[in-house]
């Protein structure tokens, strides 16, 4: 078995049993059983050997396990060596460290909340019309330093059409919210919520019925003039996936992994036999909301750390989530009993045409040479309660990797009185407020530019006007200045300086122009965290204040917001690692962290389901190759593309 292979069902079962043996008389609730990242120092040797056809020692298989003593707050992590069947390490976590939320827990809380007499009394008070029913939506409690030490859920309450469980309850939010303790399994209290612009909570009232705003097709008059569009690949796709999940396509080679937290992980990404990246994955995403009123001041989801991208990934469906010739891969997670659970069709892989790849027409001969831009897409889609995130690694034939995120799904809403407006949100439906919020994603890029044995250096490149002098007498001159990033820290984009970041291998020079081989990182600048520096949001989302962080590689630093984010108090993420180590990063084993995303100021057009909002990080070769890597793509011709002429209108330009 390859050291990067995800844990099999049998391995998950064995890990569970070994852990359970440690606690023979205790019922455990497992939060995670997953592959512990094998030591990089061994893996670099292993991969170099693997690619050169020799062998190197294979690291032991290690399972990382996280679990509670069921029904208590006692939370542990353990490393189980599956090669030796021994527990290597067990750690009892302290107070204030909480495991992630899981589905079993959420569904249990939903049921329990609805059974509370206090909640039923609130519902009765609403005097709902017969056709409506109440639906709870538990959220991680968040942190404010006041009452957040116990593991809690803030349960937002909504109303939907009875008998239609896909009715859009987000269009009918209620103004009370139970706080529920999932350990003691009891209601902490019922919080009433302001529906005005201020903090004051009005007197609870009966429910004022508002109009629905449904999105499911059966409730909408659908447009009838959209003709089908199909993608046909008569010879099948151009990619191959081996049994152990090595994906090969158009000179690309990589190994696919999947875990409960990051979802899809790419390892050992190579082009034409040359290593580029050791590991790429989404490290974290935080979603802080702008509403300063309680309980929304705690509304700050860490979607990966609090829940897990692998835990909430969609079961992708043929004909819905992609077009063309598609491969699907599942992934394993575990349930609370530590049993393996299959996330079926968690990953889909297909090719797409993305327009023209390159073109030149020689005006002297009128000969046009054009190739199309074929791409390979590796996709997972997350549903985190209301929101959807479509996460795609996209590869092209020119050596580029795009990490594309599409935000869609439903806005998280709250009740607002008629006629009230606020500057921290948008009314998207009568009586419905959608607060502004940020989506700040943190992409972890572990580079291996050109070699398994060299250090890498991150580089900041800027363009600057040359001074007006004898060398630049007409003032058109400008130059590019590059500087190495030599110590750990955060950096920002600056369009006025045309700033671009890249990562180079200082030991390997391009044979044509002598520049160090490198990959550049292109991504749009978003505002960093808008919360106050003293806020818990800022303490918790340590990555969210800079567009780029560079750190020295250290094992166990995979999650830039910290390993345990659920109700975290902060101080366990990337800024703390840096403050502790202050390591050099020039010609070292480094990791690059790209922060990107959206400041989402809701439009009414984002409701009831928002059209995708797309944002991408591009990794592009910069003097890595010796020419355009896509120059050998066969030209685009009608013989293979078989397009159809539907109209040729020269009537009004007839000569």
Enumerate residues 106-165 that contact its own copies by CB under 8 A: 135, 144, 165
Helix (H) or strand (E) holding 158: strand 153-161
Q: Find the binding residues for its own copies in span 1-20 (CB under 8 A).
A: 5-6, 8-9
From the candidates 260, 296, 387, 403, give the one annotated as an active-site residue: 387
41 binds its own copies (CB under 8 A): no
Between 106 and 448, whose beta carbon lies closer to its own copies?
Answer: 106
369 binds its own copies (CB under 8 A): yes
- Which of 305, 399, 447, 490 is the binder for its own copies (CB under 8 A)? 399
Indicate if 387 belongs to the active site.
yes
Least CB distance to its own copies at residue 37 (A): 18
Report angle CA 169, 307, 318 to the nearest 5 degrees.
70
200 binds its own copies (CB under 8 A): no
Between 256 and 574, whose beta carbon lies closer to its own copies?
Answer: 256
Helix (H) or strand (E) holding 9: helix 9-22
Cβ-based neighbours of 478, under 8 Å, separated by 6 or more:
463, 464, 465, 466
Least CB distance to its own copies at residue 315 (A): 8
Angstrom CA distances, 68 to 129, 163, 183, 238, 311, stand at 42, 37, 10, 46, 18
Backbone angles phi, psi at 321, to 5 degrees: -95, -15
- Residue 159 contacts residue 137 (beta carbons within 8 Å): no
Q: Find the binding residues for its own copies in span 69-108 (CB under 8 A).
A: 103
Considering only 24-32, 532-540, 553-561, 582-590, which stretch makes contact with its own copies by CB under 8 A? 532-540
Work out the number of other CB atoms within 10 angstroms of the CB of residue 8. 15
The first and second tokens of residue 236, run together, are 């099948």
Indicate if 144 belongs to the active site.
no
From the candidates 268, 303, 446, 606, give the one annotated as an active-site residue: 303
456 binds its own copies (CB under 8 A): no
- Which of 216, 556, 576, 580 is the binder for its own copies (CB under 8 A)? 216
Least CB distance to its own copies at residue 388 (A): 5
Count of residues of this chain found to bind its own copies when the rule CB under 8 A is applied: 208
509 binds its own copies (CB under 8 A): no
483 binds its own copies (CB under 8 A): no
Distance CA 531, CA 536 (A): 9
- Which of 24, 53, 273, 473 is the binder for its own copies (CB under 8 A)? 473
Angstrom CA distances, 167 to 119, 137, 160, 214, stand at 22, 14, 6, 6
- Which of 291, 488, 542, 545 is the binder for its own copies (CB under 8 A)? 291
Question: What count of Cα atoms within 13 Å lies in the side-chain half-sphere of residue 71?
Answer: 2
Between 247 and 574, whose beta carbon lies closer to its own copies?
Answer: 247
226 binds its own copies (CB under 8 A): yes
Distance CA 546, CA 492 (A): 6
Considering only 26-34, 112-120, 243-251, 567-575, which stretch makes contact with its own copies by CB under 8 A? 243-251
Q: Identify the DSSP state of 147.
A: S
191 binds its own copies (CB under 8 A): no
Work out the number of other CB atoms within 10 angstroms of the CB of residue 650. 7
Q: Which residues are catalytic?
A: 303, 387
């Amino acid at each position: 078995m390859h050291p990067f292979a995800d844990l099999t069902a049998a391995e998950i079962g064995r890990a569970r049993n070994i852990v359970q043996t440690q606690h023979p008389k205790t019922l455990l609730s497992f939060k995670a059983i997953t592959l512990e990242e094998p030591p990089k120092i061994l893996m670099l040797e292993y991969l170099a050997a693997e690619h050169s056809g020799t062998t190197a020692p294979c690291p032991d298989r290690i399972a990382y396990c996280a679990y509670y003593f069921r029904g208590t707050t006692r939370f542990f992590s353990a490393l189980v060596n599956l090669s030796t069947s021994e527990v290597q390490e067990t750690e009892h976590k302290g107070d204030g460290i909480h495991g992630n939320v899981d589905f079993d827990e959420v569904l249990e809380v939903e049921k329990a909340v609805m059974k509370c007499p206090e909640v039923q009394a609130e519902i009765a008070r609403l005097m709902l019309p017969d056709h409506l029913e109440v639906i709870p939506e538990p959220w991680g409690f968040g942190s404010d330093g006041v009452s957040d030490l116990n593991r809690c859920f803030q349960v937002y309450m909504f109303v939907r059409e009875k008998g239609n469980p896909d009715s859009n309850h987000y269009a009918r939010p209620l103004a009370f919210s139970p706080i529920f303790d999932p350990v003691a399994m009891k209601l902490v209290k019922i919080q009433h919520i302001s529906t005005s612009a201020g903090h004051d909570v009005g007197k609870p009232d009966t429910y004022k019925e508002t109009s629905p705003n449904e999105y499911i097709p059966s409730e909408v008059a659908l447009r009838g003039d959209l003709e089908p569009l199909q993608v046909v690949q008569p010879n099948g796709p151009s990619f191959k996936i081996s049994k152990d999940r090595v994906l090969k396509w158009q000179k690309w080679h990589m190994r696919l992994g999947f875990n409960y937290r990051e979802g899809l992980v790419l390892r050992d990404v190579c082009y034409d036999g040359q290593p580029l990246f050791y590991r790429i994955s989404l490290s974290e995403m935080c979603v802080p909301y702008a509403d300063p009123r309680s309980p929304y001041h705690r509304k700050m989801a860490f979607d990966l750390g609090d829940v897990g991208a692998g835990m909430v990934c969609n079961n992708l469906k043929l004909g819905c989530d992609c077009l063309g010739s598609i491969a699907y891969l599942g992934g394993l997670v575990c349930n609370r009993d530590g049993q393996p659970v299959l996330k079926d069709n968690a990953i889909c892989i297909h090719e797409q045409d993305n327009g023209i790849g390159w073109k030149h027409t020689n005006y002297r001969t009128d000969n046009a040479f054009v190739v199309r831009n074929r791409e390979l897409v590796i996709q997972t889609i997350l549903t985190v309660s209301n929101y959807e995130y479509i996460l795609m690694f996209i590869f092209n034939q020119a050596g580029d990797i795009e990490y594309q995120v599409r935000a869609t799904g439903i806005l998280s809403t709250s009740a607002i009185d008629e006629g009230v407006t606020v500057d921290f949100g948008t009314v998207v439906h009568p009586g419905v407020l959608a607060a502004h919020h940020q989506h700040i994603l943190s992409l972890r890029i572990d580079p291996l530019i050109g070699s398994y044995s060299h250090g890498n250096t991150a580089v900041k490149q800027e363009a600057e006007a040359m001074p007006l002098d004898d060398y630049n007498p007409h003032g058109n001159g400008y130059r590019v200045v590059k500087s190495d990033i030599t110590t750990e820290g955060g950096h920002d984009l600056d369009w006025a300086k045309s700033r671009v970041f890249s990562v180079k291998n200082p030991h390997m020079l391009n044979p044509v122009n002598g520049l160090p081989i490198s990959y550049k990182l292109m991504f749009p600048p978003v505002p960093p965290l808008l919360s106050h520096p003293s806020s818990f949001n800022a303490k918790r989302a340590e990555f969210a204040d800079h567009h780029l962080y560079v750190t020295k590689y250290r094992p166990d630093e995979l999650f830039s917001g910290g390993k345990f984010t659920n109700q975290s108090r902060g101080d366990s993420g990337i800024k703390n690692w840096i403050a502790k180590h202050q390591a050099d990063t020039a010609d070292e084993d480094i990791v690059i962290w790209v922060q990107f995303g959206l400041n989402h100021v809701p439009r009414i057009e984002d409701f009831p389901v928002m059209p995708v909002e797309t944002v991408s990080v591009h990794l592009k070769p910069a003097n890595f190759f010796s020419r355009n890597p896509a120059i050998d793509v066969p030209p685009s011709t009608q013989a293979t593309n078989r397009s159809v002429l539907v109209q040729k209108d020269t009537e009004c330009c007839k000569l």
